[in-house]
Structure 1
């Protein structure tokens, strides 16, 4: 594999140490190292297959195990992304972000087709683990069922003057919906807004309209821009639209925009709402 020198050195040192534990039956890479698109700033995403009968014991000791394999600066479990079997860590030197995911062997076999195997040549993909469709990581129906609720939430926070929450809502729309739609349009795997500038440069330029400063009118314009891009980019077929939700939410948003009041912040004078 053509990967950066620091990443290669880390793997050359760590993989044999991990493989020495007979409870680990396979080691693989995911992420950019597996897909052949790494650079000097890439994470190292390691996925470990653990014997099913030993998985519980390994899970209880996984932080200590990692510390025995490499020099860990800090590490924590991945509940924040819904994956407690993940350990997110920094190792050094040099400083690298390394993710370790501990999967039972039977589950590992179902995802092996998406990984680059480093150790465990006897492991084969499960019979029912056919390669997923490009859209497997993003469901446009899931987005349509949620988008208007999220826009309404953002509008209520905008009306209340909670600009940080409004900006967070627009950022969530960008990451969870608009970025994946742009990636799909470019024929790439949806991964939020990751690498969007190179995957879909024209759409990335369009998404700039959803980025604003801490200003009520700018935040309003960013929320409106997110709605407009969603309307342009959502699939025309294969999705059951929610027209009543769209109509009601856009009416509500229009009322909010018409009633914007100046917001005074500690950082400066009252902003000009320019309704």
Structure 2
């Protein structure tokens, strides 16, 4: 694994390259490095404002990173608009997440942002997850778990139970004002929520175990809905009982 010193040298080389590139109009750190909360294992998240054709700059930078760091793989996150989010895996498990965005869209969309150079533009913040959609995914996944069980599709049932638990965690984080993406706020949730959650993982692919895990997960989900949308919880509780 990489050392913090190796990661910091990589960041410094990226910044120096950006400062020397006339097409780069802004450079910012996002993620934990922007807020001083990173640790030994934090990756590198960068946003760069681009003058001109974004795809041209992305191709040029990719060629440079290939020659400079010898990455083992790279791929793009799907995003809307003209921005490109390209992720690189360097030797030693150094991860680079670089967002190339038009210069008029270079600006913070959330609290994790630190401008190194360039002028921030007023941009729309990322919207939080929709609580009603999350609640809908809860009942959707519970129903599909039950359907998989009666069809004997054990691996698919396990998938739905795990996904259901993730959405319940996101609902709790949203309610408590904690980070919601990728369950990043899960370690900050109170024990009164996490203690019952410990019984929800699937321990084997037998039907009794899958039904036990589904019941445990639905119990936690119903308790969370009691906090976030009590009227909906009241309507769904008897229907959840039919599934368990």
Shorter-chain TM band: 0.7 to 0.9
1:124 to 107, 110, 120: 120
Spell out the pairing of 1:147-226 with structure 2 (5 A cutoff): 147-175=138-166, 177-194=167-184, 196-197=186-187, 199-200=188-189, 202=191, 203-214=193-204, 215-226=206-217
Find the counterpart in structure 2 of residue 144 from structure 1. 135
3-state SS, counterpart of residue 219 of structure 1: helix
Mark the runs of 5 or more structure 2 residues left unpaired by the alignment: none
Deviations 1:81-108 (A, max 9, x none): 889822221113x431111121122222
Tell me the distance in 2 between the aligned counterparts of 1:188 and 1:153: 28
Structure 1 contact 18–24 (Cα < 8 Å) conserved: yes
In the aligned structure 2, how far is the partner of 1:236 from the partner of 1:57? Answer: 49
Q: Deviations over 1:159-205 (max 9, x none)?
A: 22212111111111222x122123235442212333523x1251333
| Cα pair 1:112 1:124 within 8 Å, conserved | no
Instruction: State the match for 1:227 in structure 2.
Output: 218
SS at 2:203's partner residue? coil
Provide the rounded CA distance (Å) in 1 between the counterparts of 2:36 and 2:43: 13
Q: Secondary structure at the match of 1:180?
A: helix
- Alignment of structure 1 residues 88-127 onto 2, 5 Å: 88-92=87-91, 94-109=92-107, 111=109, 114-120=112-118, 123-126=119-122
1:66 aligns with 2:65: yes
Q: Counterparts of 1:18 and 1:246 in 2: how far apart (Å)?
A: 55
Note the alpha carbon deviations across 1:39-77, whole angstroms, 9 max, x for none: 1111211112112x3213224555324325533222122
Rounded to whole Å, the distance in 1 between the matches of 2:198 and 2:228 is: 27
TM-aligned CA distance change 1:192 to 1:231, over 3 Å: farther
2:231 and 2:84 map into 1 onto residues whose CA distance is: 35
Whole-Å separation in 2 of the counterparts to 1:45 and 1:174: 28
Contact kept? 1:113, 1:125, Cα under 8 Å? no
1:250: Cα distance to partner? Answer: 4.4
Structure 1 residues 65 and 247, CA, compared in 2 at 3 Å: closer, same or farther?
farther
CA distance in 2, matches of 1:97, 1:237: 36
TM-score, normalised to structure 2's length? Answer: 0.82
Decide whether the 8 Å contact of 1:111 with 1:125 is kept in 2: no
- Mark the CA change 1:227 to 1:237 in structure 2 (over 3 Å): closer, same or farther: closer
With normalisation by structure 1, the TM-score equals 0.74
Query: Size of the alignment, in residue pairs?
Result: 239
Q: Distance in 2 between matches of 1:19 and 1:224?
A: 56
